[in-house]
Amino acid sequence: MKTVEQKPKYSLNEEQEKKLILREYRSLLRALKDKIKPGDKDILRRAFEMAADAHSSMRRKSGEPYILHPIAVAKICIEEIGLGVRSTVCALLHDTVEDTDITLQDIEREFGSEISRIVDGLTKISNVIDSSASQQAENFKKILLTLTDDPRVILIKLADRLNNMRTLDSMKREKQLKIASETVYIFAPLAHRMGLYSIKTELEDLAMKYLEPDTYKEIAKKLAETKRDRTRYINEFIKPIKEKLERNKFDFEIYGRPKNIHSIWNKMKKKGVTFEEVYDLFAIRIILNSPQEREKEDCWKVYSLITDEYTPSIERLRDWVSNPKSNGYEALHTTVMGPRGKWVEVQIRTKRMNEIAEKGLAAHWKYKEGSANENRFDKWFQQIREVLYNQDADSVDFLQDFKMSFLTEEIYIYTPKGDIKMLPVGSTALDFAFAIHTAIGAKTIGAKVNHKLVPISYKLRSGDQVEIITSNKQTPSEDWLSFVVTAKAKAKVKEALKEEKKKVADEGRYTIQRKLEGMGVSMQQANLDELVQFYKLHSNLELFYQVAIKNIDLRELKEFKVIGDRIEYPRPVKIVQEHKIESHTPAQSGNKQDTELIIFGESSDKIMYHLANCCKPIPGDDVFGFITTGKGLAIHRTNCPNAPKLLANYGHRIVKTKWAKNKEISFLTGVRIIGMDDVGVVSKITGLISAELKINIAALTIEASEGLFEGNIKVYVHDKEELDELVNRLKDLSGIESVERYDTEDLPGKQ
Ligand code: MN
C-alpha cells in the first residue's frame, strides 16, 4: 500500500528544477527500456519537449512545475498498467490541449491521427451549454465513447486520476471532497472493471482517506498495531502448506497480504462488526509458475493439498479458473479453517493469472493469443457501444445506469441450451430477455426459471437457467422501466414507448394542423413553439401527444391573436427598464462558491439551510453544503451514503461550510450499544448519560437475548465533541462491547 507523503514546502531554484525534470524524464525512459524500438526515442523526446514547453509557465497546487504531473502519469501507464510507447506519448501530452495553447491539429500534425484521437478523448468538454447537466457526467460519456474505439483512453485517464489522488494533499478541502467522491463513484469501479485490482484498491483507500479521515486513520492504526500478531499467524499457517508444495515439486511463491482499509471498512459496515471481528483482514496468496496447459490442473492440485491440511468452508469456494470473471480475472479462492479456529482466505493463481489481476486489460492483450476468453473485453465494449449510441436520457441518469449495467458484480445465467450470459446483479427475467435479443425482450410475457413459471420482473440469481416465454400480442409498457436494470433493456423499452407515443401523437398533430388552418395560419415551427410554451410543455411531440389523448382540448386557442402567419398569446406588457438595470450587474454568481465561506448554525442565521435527513449531521461533523433546487442549502456529512453521488455529479453546486460555535441548539442523534446483559446495566448507562454528562435522552430501547443486550438510545447533543465524549465514556463502562453512532431510522444493510 502506498501512502501519500506530506511534502515539505516547495523550494527549488530554476537550475535545480530543470535537473529534477530531466531526471524524472530519464527515469521514465528507463522504465520503458524493454519496449523502445528504433525511432521511438525521437517521438518520446518530441512529446516531452512539446509538453514541457507548453506547460513551462504552469505550476501544480503544490508549487511543483506542472510537467512533473504528465511525466508521473506516463510512468504509471508504463509501470503499473503495462502500456507502451504510444500511450506514453499520449500521457505526456494529455493535459496540453485542455490547458495550453496547443491544439488537436498541432498534435495531429506532429504525431499523427492515432495519438491525436487519444489525446482528444482525454481532453475534457470545457464549455457546457446546459448548466443543469452534470459536466462530470458529460465528460464521462465522452471518455466512454472514445473508450470503445480505443481502450487506452480510459487506461491513461485512470493513471491521471491515480496521480491526482496521490497528490491530493495540496488541494483545497472542497476540491478534495469532489475529486475523492468522483473517484469512489466511478473511477474505482471502472478500474475494477478493467481488471486493474491494485489501482482500484489504491484509489479506494486514497478516497477514503479524504472522505472519512477519522475512520481511515483509526483502521490504519489498528492494522499497524496488530501487524506482529498477524505476521506470526500467517507464518504458522503457511509453514505446513509450504512443505507440502515443496514435497510435490511445485515452483511457487506464497505470502500473506493485508486487505485494504476501504474493504475492511466496507465489511465492518456491511456486517455491523468491529475491526476485531473482521476475520479476513488478510488473504494468503499462492502464485504458481506453471506452463499454460497445466494451469488448471496445478491450481486444483494445490487446492487439494491445502484442504488436506485445513478444512474448507463449502460455501466459500470460487472457481474463476474454469469460469473467469468478465474483467478477465482468473483464480481459485477458498476459505479454510486455520490454526486456533480462524477462517483464512486462500487465493491460488498462476503467474500469468497474477499479471492479469495486477495489470488488467493490457496484460490480457499480451496473452490474448489462443485464450478461450479472448473477446471478453471486445464483447463488453460492444455492449457499451450499443447503449451509448442508443440513449438520449439525461446524463446523470446515464451515469447511474452505466454504473448499474457495467460496473457492478455479475451473475451467470444459463439459456435452455446451456449457454452462459453474464448480467449485472439485480437483473430480472426481462433483462435477460433483452440481453438475448431486443425482439424477444419486447414480446416477453413471462419466464421459466429452473423450470418454474415466474413473472417478467423476477430477480435472477447466479446459476439460474432461464427460458423466456413470448407472445406476439405483447408490447413494452411504462412500468417495465421500474424493474429492468440493464442499460440495454432500459434504452430499448424507452425507445419502444417513444415509438408508440409518436404513433398516437400523429393524430394530435393532425388536429392542431386543422385548427391552425381554421385560423388562417400554417403549422410552422414558430406557431408550435408558441403553443408548447403556452401549455408549459417541452416538445412538439409532447404537445401532439397531449392533444391526441385529449389532455389538452385547445379551447384557449380562441384567445390567441393572429398576426400575419403567426399566432401570439397576448402577454402583459413588460417593463423594459428593469431588464437593463439587471444586465449591468456582472453575471458571475455561478462561480462564487469557491471563495465563499458559509457559516451556519448561528441563531441569527440568514442563510436558508436544512440538515439533510439522510445523514443527520450535528455540529462538529465534517460536512459540506449542497445547493438544492428550490429548498436552499442542504447540509450533508461527508460520509453520508448520498455524498459520493452528489459530489461526483454536481461538483459545481457544492459549498464550503463551517460550523459556528453553538451551545444553544441541540440535535437529535442515535447511539447503539452492545454489551453483556447484567443487572443494573440500564441504570449504569442512563446514570452516565443524564446524571453525569447531563445529556437529554429522547428515547431508549433495550433488548436482551442470550446474555447479550442491544440498546438504542436517542439523545440530544450540542455537537460532535459532546457526542464523542459520550461514546468514549460509554465504551469505558464494564461489560460494554461496542458503542456506535447511528442515524436514527437507518437499518443495517440499507445504503
Ligand atoms: Mn492530468
The three state secondary structure string of 1-22 is CCCCCCCCCCCCCHHHHHHHHH
Does residue 5 carry a catalytic annotation?
no
Give me ligand 1 centre to Cα 394, in Å. 27
- Let me know if residue 218 belongs to a domain: no
Element (H, E) at 309: helix 295-309
- Let me know if residue 546 belongs to a domain: yes
Please give the DSSP secondary-structure letter assigned to residue 212: S
Give me ligand 1 centre to Cα 238, in Å. 43
Q: Are residues 555 and 691 in the same domain?
A: no
Residue 227 Cα distances to 128, 220, 281, angstroms? 50, 11, 10
Task: For residue 114, give the C-alpha cell.
Answer: 492515432
DSSP 3-state helix, strand, coil percentages of the chain (rounded to 5)? 50, 15, 30
Q: Are residues 694 and 655 in the same domain?
A: no
Residues bordering ligand 1, an ion, CB closer than 5 Å: 95, 160
Give me ligand 1 centre to Cα 557, in Å. 56
- Give the burial string for 324-358 (b: 16+ CB within 10 Å, else e): bbbbbbbbbbbbbebeeeeebbbbbbbebbbbbbb
Report the predicted TM-score, pTM, of the whole model to 2 decimal places.
0.67
Q: How far is CA 258 from the centre of its chain?
A: 23
- Let me know if residue 478 belongs to a domain: no
Does residue 703 carry a catalytic annotation?
no
Its sign, for the CA torsion 360, 362, 363, 367, is positive
CA atoms within a 13 Å half-sphere pointing along the CA-CB vector of 675 = 23
Which residue, of 607, 633, 659, is where some domain finishes?
A: 659
Q: Is 378 exposed, middle or buried (0-12, 13-18, 19+ CB in 10 A)?
A: exposed
d(CA 112, CA 120): 12
Task: For residue 15, give the C-alpha cell.
Answer: 537550475
Q: How would residue 288 be classed by pLDDT, with cut points 50, 70 and 90?
A: very high
d(CA 96, CA 232): 51
| Mean pLDDT for the stretch of residues 229-255 | 93
Q: Are residues 309 and 249 in the same domain?
A: yes
Least confident of 4-18, 49-63, 338-352: 4-18
Residues linked to residue 634 through DSSP beta bridges, in sequence order: 610, 626
Contacts of 286 (CB under 8 A, 6+ apart): 241, 245, 252, 253, 254, 302, 346, 347, 348, 349
d(CA 411, CA 317): 16
Give me ligand 1 centre to Cα 160, in Å. 5
Residues comprising the chain, all counted:
751
- Let me know if residue 297 belongs to a domain: yes
d(CA 650, CA 642): 12
Element (H, E) at 155: helix 152-166
Element (H, E) at 561: strand 561-563
Question: Residue 20: its pLDDT value, please?
Answer: 92
Q: Where are the beta strands (DSSP E) in 309-363?
A: 311-312, 318-319, 332-337, 343-350
pLDDT digits (tens, 9 = 90+) for 463-502: 889 999 998 888 898 889 999 998 889 888 988 888 888 8
Q: Are residues 589 and 706 in the same domain?
A: no
Give me ligand 1 centre to Cα 161, in Å. 7
Task: For residue 151, give the C-alpha cell.
Answer: 481502450
d(CA 682, CA 699): 13
Give the Cβ contact number of residue 535 at 10 Å. Answer: 15
Question: Residue 393: its pLDDT value, please?
Answer: 53
Q: Work out the angle between the directed axes of helices 14-31 and 40-54 (0-180°, nearest 10).
A: 150
Give the SS3 label for residue 619: coil
Among 274-288, 311-325, 340-354, 530-544, name the most confident range: 340-354
The amino acid sitting at 645 is K
Q: Is 399 exposed, middle or buried (0-12, 13-18, 19+ CB in 10 A)?
A: buried
Give me ligand 1 centre to Cα 94, in Å. 6
Task: For residue 183, give the C-alpha cell.
Answer: 473517484
Give me ligand 1 centre to Cα 166, in Å. 12
Task: For residue 584, give the C-alpha cell.
Answer: 449591468
Q: Are residues 245 and 345 in the same domain?
A: yes
Q: Are residues 166 and 39 in the same domain?
A: yes
Q: Are residues 249 and 330 in the same domain?
A: yes
Which is the catalytic residue, given 98, 214, 236, 378?
A: 98
Does the structure show a pLDDT above 50 at 602?
Answer: no
Element (H, E) at 312: strand 311-312
| Mean pLDDT for the stretch of residues 95-109 | 91
Element (H, E) at 643: helix 643-649
Does the structure show a pLDDT above 80 at 649?
Answer: no
Task: Please choose, from the candidates 202, 204, 229, 205, the residue with its C-alpha nearest in 3D space to the C-alpha of residue 217.
Answer: 205
Q: How would residue 551 be classed by pLDDT, with cut points 50, 70 and 90?
A: confident
Bridge-based pairing of strands 696-705 and 623-627 is unpaired
Question: Residue 532: its pLDDT value, please?
Answer: 87
Q: Where are the alpha helices (DSSP H) in 549-627?
A: 576-584
| Mean pLDDT for the stretch of residues 701-714 | 82
Does the structure show a pLDDT above 60 at 132?
Answer: no
Q: Are residues 247 and 340 in the same domain?
A: yes
Q: Are residues 27 and 131 in the same domain?
A: yes
Does the structure show a pLDDT above 50 at 280?
Answer: yes
Task: Please choose, from the candidates 302, 308, 312, 304, the residue with its C-alpha nearest in 3D space to the C-alpha of residue 344.
Answer: 312
Q: Are residues 523 and 637 in the same domain?
A: no
Give me ligand 1 centre to Cα 200, in Å. 18
Please give the DSSP secondary-structure letter assigned to residue 574: P
Element (H, E) at 119: helix 113-122
Question: Residue 238: its pLDDT value, please?
Answer: 94
Q: Are residues 631 and 697 in the same domain?
A: no
Give me ligand 1 centre to Cα 671, in Å. 43
Which residue, of 128, 156, 171, is where some domain finishes?
A: 171
Question: Residue 398: its pLDDT value, please?
Answer: 66
Residue bearing the bigger pLDDT, 392 or 628: 628
| Mean pLDDT for the stretch of residues 89-101 | 92
Which residue, of 659, 693, 708, is where some domain finishes?
A: 659
- Let me know if residue 413 belongs to a domain: no
Provide Rg for the chain, Cα atoms.
31
Share of the chain above pLDDT 90, in %: 28
**Domain that residue 279 falls in:** 223-366
Question: Residue 407: its pLDDT value, please?
Answer: 73
Bridge-based pairing of strands 343-350 and 282-288 is parallel
- Let me know if residue 485 belongs to a domain: no
Residue whose C-alpha cell is 513551462:
56
Q: Are residues 552 and 590 in the same domain?
A: no
Question: Residue 432: its pLDDT value, please?
Answer: 95
pLDDT digits (tens, 9 = 90+) for 736-747: 888 888 865 543
Q: How far is CA 219 from the centre of its chain?
A: 22
Which is the catalytic residue, given 17, 40, 79, 99?
A: 99
d(CA 254, CA 181): 35
- Let me know if residue 240 belongs to a domain: yes
Domain count, the chain: 5
d(CA 710, CA 698): 17
Please give the DSSP secondary-structure letter assigned to residue 322: T
Q: What is the 3 state secondary structure string of 213-250?
A: HHHHHHHHHHHHHCHHHHHHHHHHHHHHHHHHHHHCCC
Query: For residue 314, what is the domain's CATH number?
Result: 3.30.460.10
- Let me know if residue 530 belongs to a domain: yes
